[in-house]
A and B are shown apart, each in its own frame.
Chain A
């Protein structure tokens, strides 16, 4: 009767939405794969030369390596900077929690394109006095990932009874380092892996800052390549997409497996 008719209509509506939007979102990705596997002429057979030629281009390989290294450095740096700070202020300086949160969410208001204008003179100085390696970008990237990683870690921390666990550990004689690394972090492993995941996704997809500071990371390399060789650059783009997806999957399974093994107190 009425309710059944309504649920049937809803089901039809849902199917239409999923099909139409599914097409809209999957087509460009499919098109990329199609483009990247095209042969030289119109009737040439499909080939994977676009993919294989990537390995033989030293500039590309450098860019890929650089981006991967940056992703790793930024993740580690983010955890080393954010995690202890967030735990510390929640336990000892609660009045700083709000201000720190505000600071971490600021990069959302001050977009990369604006920040990079301020980064330019700073990076000029770094180039002269510290190093001109592309890995210096990690400093900037850490700021860019702040809002996303803060939210992920915050979700994990709120699910852990910080005060009780740390007081219990301290009363048994643990140092602060032990409390953080051996008591708290294991209980928010999925939040930590989420935050790392976000770091990797953002760093691998970052273009603005690298481009305007004249560094050649993965996305910049794709862009440069694209001006000459559309097919190869798209092949590289597909690869980077696949890699990020794959990495996302691995990291999310890892996070869930770790928290399950430890009895998952915190379902972040």
Chain B
């Protein structure tokens, strides 16, 4: 170990003791704090403030507007859309995750599927909407192919550009997201539990009913919540697919923001945004509680 010469320079480089050291250290995190303060904290505050602002000062008028039937119906649509796509995504995703997890942990299939899921869950909403238009749009690949075989794909009218179509498209990124979020829980299931159940006289059904099921339930529910929040917050796909009309909340927000009627609508957008934040915040808290229980039982 080379001796450090005791020069003035060395002294300068040594950390200063006591109080002074702590304040220097905090300074190190300053750039980050300033940045997030400006671009994360500030916008959030602006949303909260805007929701309660009116042309003549603080007001509850914006929030009152939330009770209008078309707004309520937008929230309901959003909630239903999220719940349905989250449910389908959760179930199908869980099945796919189980299939992948039961293979070899280093196998190429597993790595491929995991990578694929990673990309798909980040799939740009616009691209996704167009992909489905190309598949089952009015001139889509499947529609035309079926037509050539005498089958009409849309006997009762085109449903792709409606809430139903949106739900289907949402599952396209919900399923991969489920795989990514749920897989760690499945990996935490030890083979000894299955074997122990068998030696104690339990068959497959008993195993799922009494052991694996209860153990995976918190993780499954937590993942469902995550999928729900994800679908609830999604905007791009709906924007690319539907008119700016606004049958779901994100579309309402965008309509309010791009309206030329001025400040009033901006505050209404803020009120809508606040509503969304409240809902997602509740979900996040529930998710965190479920995560803790699951992590205790299923070690990584």
List chain B residues, Cβ under 8 A from A30: 141
Interface bits B2-16 vs A (CB < 8 Å: 1, else 0): 101000000001000
Binds B, one of A53-61, A185-193, A226-234, A258-266: A226-234
Roughly how many angstroms separate A244 CA and B253 CA in the complex, as a whole number?
Answer: 29
Whether B76 sits at the interface, judged by CB under 8 Å, is no
Whether B284 sits at the interface, judged by CB under 8 Å, is yes
Residue pair A207, B125 in contact (C-beta under 8 Å): yes
Given contacts A103-B36, A117-B257, contact A223 B239 (CB under 8 A): yes
Residue pair A205, B40 in contact (C-beta under 8 Å): no
* Closest partner residue, chain B, to A210 (CB atom): B236
* Closest partner residue, chain B, to A208 (CB atom): B235
Interface residues on A, range: 35 or more
List chain A residues, Cβ under 8 A from B235: 111-113, 207-208
Contact among B96, B123, B139, B266 with A120 in the assembled complex (CB-CB below 8 Å):
B266
Residue pair B32, A118 in contact (C-beta under 8 Å): no
Whether B95 sits at the interface, judged by CB under 8 Å, is yes
Whether A100 sits at the interface, judged by CB under 8 Å, is yes
Given contacts A21-B96, A35-B141, A212-B258, contact A112 B233 (CB under 8 A): yes
Which among B127, B135, B239 has the greatest number of chain A C-beta atoms within 10 A?
Answer: B127
Roughly how many angstroms separate A241 CA and B141 CA in the complex, as a whole number?
Answer: 19
Binds A, one of B114-122, B183-191, B208-216: B114-122
Residue pair A234, B134 in contact (C-beta under 8 Å): yes
Roughly how many angstroms separate A230 CA and B129 CA in the complex, as a whole number?
Answer: 12
Contact among B132, B236, B270 with A117 in the assembled complex (CB-CB below 8 Å):
B270
Residue pair A201, B31 in contact (C-beta under 8 Å): no
Separation in Å of the A242 CB from the closest CB of chain B?
11
List chain B residues, Cβ under 8 A from A226: 126, 130, 240
Whether A206 sits at the interface, judged by CB under 8 Å, is yes
Roughly how many angstroms separate A31 CA and B273 CA in the complex, as a whole number?
Answer: 36
Given contacts A89-B28, A142-B39, A201-B122, contact A114 B258 (CB under 8 A): no
Given contacts A89-B29, A96-B29, A223-B239, contact A111 B280 (CB under 8 A): yes
Contact among B25, B135, B269 with A28 in the assembled complex (CB-CB below 8 Å):
B135
Given contacts A34-B141, A205-B123, contact A212 B257 (CB under 8 A): yes
Interface bits B122-150 vs A (CB < 8 Å: 1, else 0): 11111110111111000111100000000
List A206-257 residues whose CB lies under 8 Å from chain B: 206-208, 211-212, 219-220, 222-223, 226, 230, 233-234, 237, 240-241, 244-245, 248
List chain A residues, Cβ under 8 A from B31: 81, 84-85
Whether A88 sits at the interface, judged by CB under 8 Å, is yes
Whether B254 sits at the interface, judged by CB under 8 Å, is yes
Residue pair B233, A113 in contact (C-beta under 8 Å): yes
Whether A131 sits at the interface, judged by CB under 8 Å, is no
Residue pair B134, A116 in contact (C-beta under 8 Å): no
* Closest partner residue, chain A, to B237 (CB atom): A207
Whether A10 sits at the interface, judged by CB under 8 Å, is yes
Separation in Å of the B37 CB from the closest CB of chain A?
9
Residue pair A14, B127 in contact (C-beta under 8 Å): no
Whether A202 sits at the interface, judged by CB under 8 Å, is yes
7 residue pairs of the A-B complex, CB under 8 angstroms, read A14-B102, A28-B135, A85-B28, A88-B29, A114-B47, A121-B46, A207-B125
- Not counting A109-B281, A112-B235, A222-B127, a sample of 15 additional A-B residue pairs whose C-beta atoms are within 8 angstroms of each other reads A32-B134, A34-B141, A89-B29, A93-B25, A108-B284, A111-B232, A111-B233, A114-B253, A171-B4, A208-B235, A219-B124, A237-B126, A240-B127, A241-B127, A244-B119
Q: Which residues of A contact B (CB under 8 A)?
A: 10, 13-14, 17-18, 21, 25, 27-32, 34-36, 81-82, 84-85, 88-89, 92-93, 96, 100, 103, 106-122, 139-140, 142-143, 146, 171-173, 175, 198, 201-202, 204-208, 211-212, 219-220, 222-223, 226, 230, 233-234, 237, 240-241, 244-245, 248
Q: Which 4 A-B pairs have the closest CB atoms?
A: A118-B43, A111-B233, A205-B124, A207-B236
